[in-house]
Structure 1
């Protein structure tokens, strides 16, 4: 009997039934896409785009052909047009002309595939604003792509492009264009027509010259021409009135470019063939903050380096410099001076390892004071207490310094020597201070830069009254939080909190919109609020390396002002180490792609 029952349960027609073809895209995903207008098919091993994706807004779903009733949430005829299609990290070798069936697309992500060409039908997606084609095998672009009038972001890095269509200049709404890591030898002159561009990346190509038409890019803030074959840079680039960052690393330049660009703050010309610095070129850099000249053949630093009054960082590592003019120490804003790898004479090797402050102090000591400045009284005798006071630094540089003394307090004679003067910079680092020296209040109205690093501070509430502060260095202390009144420091630009005891980003930092640099490395931070960081519209550098972050919120990718994000040394699994190693832009792009739709 049992055998008969089992036989009755067997489908005798099973061999004649046609096998139901398994959909390459789950119907539930397509159903959700009709409601949201967004479809994410990234990293699914696709070798081609399924036909049902192209026809998502053309054909009714299979459910509509069955005799079922539809609820309010399932009315396919009230569907939303697909506006966002993510197909990255697949195995796609071609894109069908059927892409024209998705005319409402605003974002199309095809990066990290195997595309060797693009269909001309791409030009029919007239609503497209973001097109990501990086990490493919493209050798050329269809002219039709240049008709996408609303396109604002075009990513073409890591392809095999050897040329660009002259019609590229028609993409007049482009704000970001990335052409890095291709085989370009020449650029179309029409590139100068892209007047809305803000970021242009041309690095790692084979360019031997730049077109003069780049001068018309009046809104470009960042131009990266690193790793090319440039022997010169056209002087017309100085007409790029918004240019703030210029990268010319790894080229064949023999002279520092003469670029009186009014807004240029950062110039990177490392790994070139520059042999000397000329006063004329230096005098042009009116607004320069960072100048990188490492790995060149520079033999000396001219006295005219002091013309760069806005300079905060100077990197001349690995050159042929034998002497450093003591006048370098008179640069009022210089915070970092890198000299390693030079055949220096007159500078002890151990002095270079002690940091910029020690180096500048030494160089200032070599400057001969005027007789009027050295005459401090009716007698030439120097009292023992005055030996600890650098009167020249206080009067000339407005610098109050008492560092590397391992002292528990700062002597009163230091403050007495500065009485009535407008001290702007204080360096009390490398001591044993447990609180802020009370007499600092005497410089309440003038102090803009304070260094209390390498002390034993557990609280810094006294600093909240110094409303002129721009820079604070509190690294290597015992801080676990910051006072809420610190939000009153509306001019604060950078704060260094590395090597303390913070378990989260101090809440007050999220309310300090003037911040540009926050260094929180080597703490115990286990969470970050992306929404709070997005309020910091000027934040360009954020270091969270070597902390306890178990996860990175995808929304952090929306902090588009970030130029440097340090995440190394945390226990999170995603993004993977390989992505983190590719740099800030790659990390932010990855995080944005993981934001739930």
Structure 2
């Protein structure tokens, strides 16, 4: 009989059944019973309240026990290669901590309507099932970076897919799609697989997806595109599609005066506590931005603002301050010091001068920081150690030649964006970033990766490497995604 234990891994031998007594193992964290002939899981598994990683792939399971909804700490669920015909809505409603779900190679006919409950989901693999539609609530999966729906029965895509701003890989191969909707052309994809569908054309708006590194279109009856474009390089196809876009996209409809829009937004902020004045052509911050001392989020991005008024210091409740794409030159130390609840600061794409030595001390409680596109802003040895609570750090387009050493001290860091720099190598110290779930190294000069990066495999779920001259890893491995790359690196580590 099993008793309460602190097992990290529990593995069954072939042809065994799982005893109900497993429910006594309340400290069980990881349970792997893959590649057996198991037909059902015991309901007592729901008593394992610490369970975070459940792998039951390649068995004969036809349904998951309802009591699994009690495993509220579940972050990874792998049920690939079973006989499942449905996934429970109750499971999705309860297990909202899920970051990775693999239910590929089953007999699923649909996706639960409440899939949007999984706001932390990063990787969703449902390929090789019988799914005919994707619920509109997929838009709620705001963290989704990889979505695999190949080999299903999709004939139409929901426009709500276009809301997945973090999605980098979308696999739709071998379905029955007749068109790719315009709404999904808003995605910032790196890889889009539309091969083996029923597409006869592509929307011209797809040409705006300039982040695309690879689009696969073979096996479609595309009549409106030359075969050389279909099989040729992706940038050439995107340029052609952009050329087909109408020059006159602007309608002549009259728009409200700027002052009227600002006043209306300020009025709404009294109840929502959020004020957005994005893209208003503002050169100064309007007084409406600080009149409500209760405001928690202020978005002033895409304007021409050069400096912040001292009155903004009165917004002591402010948690999120978005100043992206303005003309701010000086780090607003005094104002930032007066915002004790600030947890998110975005100053990307400004002509920011060098951040003063005490600049980061002014935001020591910050959790999200984006200073991308400010190449001259970082001092020689930026004091990132002054930001111990940082969870997301974005340093894109910073002309970095090496990774700032103090980043290695950020033990709570979950997302690190270093794309579009001049990095040539990655330090072994990355292995210390054990909380990292997403690492973007795309568009650099990296030729090799340290094997130690493979030690992040339990937590790191998204690794973007496109646009690097990687010579040490074969292209088939890179194409298989993050898991394959991390396993390859881990296997290269010398045996202890």
TM-score by length of 2: 0.58
2:34 to 157, 161, 164: 157
2:110 to 215, 220, 232: 232
Quick one: distance in 2 between partners of 1:337 and 1:525?
22
2:381 to 484, 492, 498: 484
SS at match of 1:146: helix
After superposition, the Cα gap between the structure-2 partners of 1:226 and 1:371, relative to the gap in structure 1 and judged at 3 Å, is: closer
After superposition, the Cα gap between the structure-2 partners of 1:514 and 1:442, relative to the gap in structure 1 and judged at 3 Å, is: farther
After superposition, the Cα gap between the structure-2 partners of 1:370 and 1:202, relative to the gap in structure 1 and judged at 3 Å, is: closer
2:134 to 252, 256, 268: 256
Quick one: distance in 2 between partners of 1:328 and 1:441?
28
User: 1:289·1:313 contact (CA, 8 Å) conserved in 2?
Assistant: no
User: 2:55·2:78 contact (CA, 8 Å) conserved in 1?
Assistant: yes
Is 582-591 or 269-278 further displaced after alignment? 582-591
Q: Confirm whether residue 176 of structure 1 aligns to residue 53 of structure 2.
A: yes
Partner of 2:63: 186
User: 1:245·1:264 contact (CA, 8 Å) conserved in 2?
Assistant: no
**What CA deviation, in whole Å up to 9, does each residue of 1:361-420 have, x standing for no partner?**
8516622315889xxxxxxxxxxxxxxxxxxxxxx9x9xxxxxxxxxxxxxxxxxxxx98
**What CA deviation, in whole Å up to 9, does each residue of 1:451-497 have, x standing for no partner?**
xxxxxxxxxx98989x98565699xxxxxx99534969997536489
Partner of 1:11: none
SS at match of 1:145: helix
Q: Confirm whether residue 277 of structure 1 aligns to residue 156 of structure 2.
A: yes
**What CA deviation, in whole Å up to 9, does each residue of 1:501-525 have, x standing for no partner?**
86xx553653675753456999864
2:211 to 321, 332, 335: 335
1:345 to 213, 224, 246: 224
After superposition, the Cα gap between the structure-2 partners of 1:471 and 1:522, relative to the gap in structure 1 and judged at 3 Å, is: closer
SS at match of 2:216: coil
Where relative contact order (Cα < 8 A, 6+ residues apart) is larger, the structure is: 2
User: 1:557·1:592 contact (CA, 8 Å) conserved in 2?
Assistant: no
Quick one: distance in 1 between partners of 2:75 and 2:28?
14
Q: How does 1:469-480 map to 2 (within 5 A)?
A: none
Post-superposition offset of 1:199: 1.5
SS at match of 2:140: coil
After superposition, the Cα gap between the structure-2 partners of 1:494 and 1:320, relative to the gap in structure 1 and judged at 3 Å, is: farther
Quick one: distance in 2 between partners of 1:144 and 1:591?
39
- Asked which structure has the greater CA Rg, the reply is 1
**What CA deviation, in whole Å up to 9, does each residue of 1:280-308 have, x standing for no partner?**
x33376445326143123221223335x5
Quick one: distance in 2 between partners of 1:582 and 1:558?
10
TM-score by length of 1: 0.50
**What CA deviation, in whole Å up to 9, does each residue of 1:169-200 have, x standing for no partner?**
22122111111233323322222222221211
Partner of 1:83: none
Quick one: distance in 2 between partners of 1:323 and 1:137?
49
2:405 to 507, 513, 518: 507
Q: Confirm whether residue 563 of structure 1 aligns to residue 441 of structure 2.
A: no
SS at match of 1:300: coil
Q: Confirm whether residue 528 of structure 1 aligns to residue 424 of structure 2.
A: no
**Structure 2 unaligned regions, length at least 5:** 253-278, 282-301, 306-324, 331-345, 361-368
Post-superposition offset of 1:354: 4.9
After superposition, the Cα gap between the structure-2 partners of 1:149 and 1:211, relative to the gap in structure 1 and judged at 3 Å, is: same
User: 2:87·2:111 contact (CA, 8 Å) conserved in 1?
Assistant: yes
SS at match of 1:336: coil
1:304 to 170, 183, 206: 183
SS at match of 1:339: strand
Is 522-531 or 145-154 further displaced after alignment? 522-531
User: 2:128·2:152 contact (CA, 8 Å) conserved in 1?
Assistant: no
Q: Confirm whether residue 367 of structure 1 aligns to residue 264 of structure 2.
A: no
**Structure 1 unaligned regions, length at least 5:** 1-120, 374-395, 399-418, 423-439, 451-460, 475-480, 572-576
After superposition, the Cα gap between the structure-2 partners of 1:542 and 1:127, relative to the gap in structure 1 and judged at 3 Å, is: farther
After superposition, the Cα gap between the structure-2 partners of 1:548 and 1:565, relative to the gap in structure 1 and judged at 3 Å, is: closer
TM-align CA RMSD:
5.3
After superposition, the Cα gap between the structure-2 partners of 1:325 and 1:542, relative to the gap in structure 1 and judged at 3 Å, is: closer
Quick one: distance in 2 between partners of 1:344 and 1:271?
23
SS at match of 1:133: coil
Post-superposition offset of 1:359: 1.6
After superposition, the Cα gap between the structure-2 partners of 1:360 and 1:494, relative to the gap in structure 1 and judged at 3 Å, is: farther
Quick one: distance in 2 between partners of 1:236 and 1:514?
26
Post-superposition offset of 1:151: 1.1
SS at match of 1:529: helix
Partner of 2:124: 246
Q: How does 1:317-336 map to 2 (within 5 A)?
A: 317-318=194-195, 319-329=197-207, 335-336=211-212
User: 1:470·1:493 contact (CA, 8 Å) conserved in 2?
Assistant: yes
User: 2:461·2:482 contact (CA, 8 Å) conserved in 1?
Assistant: no
**What CA deviation, in whole Å up to 9, does each residue of 1:550-591 have, x standing for no partner?**
x648xx6257431145998549xxxxx9xx997267569879
1:294 to 172, 178, 182: 172
**What CA deviation, in whole Å up to 9, does each residue of 1:517-563 have, x standing for no partner?**
456999864851146534x74544568974275x648xx62574311
Post-superposition offset of 1:161: 2.3
Quick one: distance in 1 between partners of 2:153 and 2:460?
30
Post-superposition offset of 1:128: 1.9
Quick one: distance in 2 between partners of 1:140 and 1:546?
47
After superposition, the Cα gap between the structure-2 partners of 1:127 and 1:249, relative to the gap in structure 1 and judged at 3 Å, is: same
SS at match of 2:9: strand
